[in-house]
């Protein structure tokens, strides 16, 4: 290619050189279900983290046995669990900043 009598070269454009657009996330809630839980338990293996959610309906303290009605089991990867941990810590820090420390919360 000539430009005012001088040859110029253009570098080939590759996919790696093209600016990367951040994908937009669209939350699809068309099949979402809502459930209430006041109890959560967590177990894990090397490949997955299992979250169990349920409801403690025991109204009297000092019961010899407390029945928990399990309602949901969510199975996630350890990577998702790590991201969830960061998100929950951020939400709780913001909550306590607005409403004060959560006292009496058992871990």
Q: What's the CA angle centered on 30, arms 28 and 35, to 5 degrees? A: 100
Is a pLDDT exceeding 50 seen at residue 40?
Answer: yes
Question: Helix and strand tally (H, E) in the chain?
Answer: 1, 5
Is a pLDDT exceeding 80 seen at residue 99?
Answer: yes
Rounded to the nearest integer, the mean pLDDT of the chain is 86
Is a pLDDT exceeding 50 seen at residue 1?
Answer: no
Question: Reading across the β-sheet that carries 49-56, which strands appear in turn?
Answer: 39-44, 49-56, 68-76
The tens digit of pLDDT for each residue in 41-81 reads 999 999 999 999 999 988 777 888 888 999 999 999 999 99
Tokens of 59: 């109204």
Residue 7 banded pLDDT, cuts 50, 70, 90: low
- Ranges of each domain in the chain: 34-99
How far apart CA 37 and CA 53 sit, in angstroms, is 6
Q: Quick one: pLDDT at residue 14? A: 59
For the chain, state the CA radius of gyration: 26
């Amino acid at each position: 290619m000539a430009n005012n009598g001088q040859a110029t070269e253009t570098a080939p454009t590759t996919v790696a050189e093209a600016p990367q657009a951040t994908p937009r996330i669209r939350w699809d809630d068309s099949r979402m279900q809502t459930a209430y839980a006041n109890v959560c338990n967590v177990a894990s293996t090397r490949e997955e983290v299992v979250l169990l959610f349920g409801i403690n309906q025991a109204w009297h303290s000092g019961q010899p046995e407390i029945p928990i009605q399990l309602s949901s089991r969510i199975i996630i990867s350890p990577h998702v669990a790590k991201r969830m941990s960061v998100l929950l810590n951020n939400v709780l820090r913001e909550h306590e900043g607005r409403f004060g420390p959560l006292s009496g919360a058992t871990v």
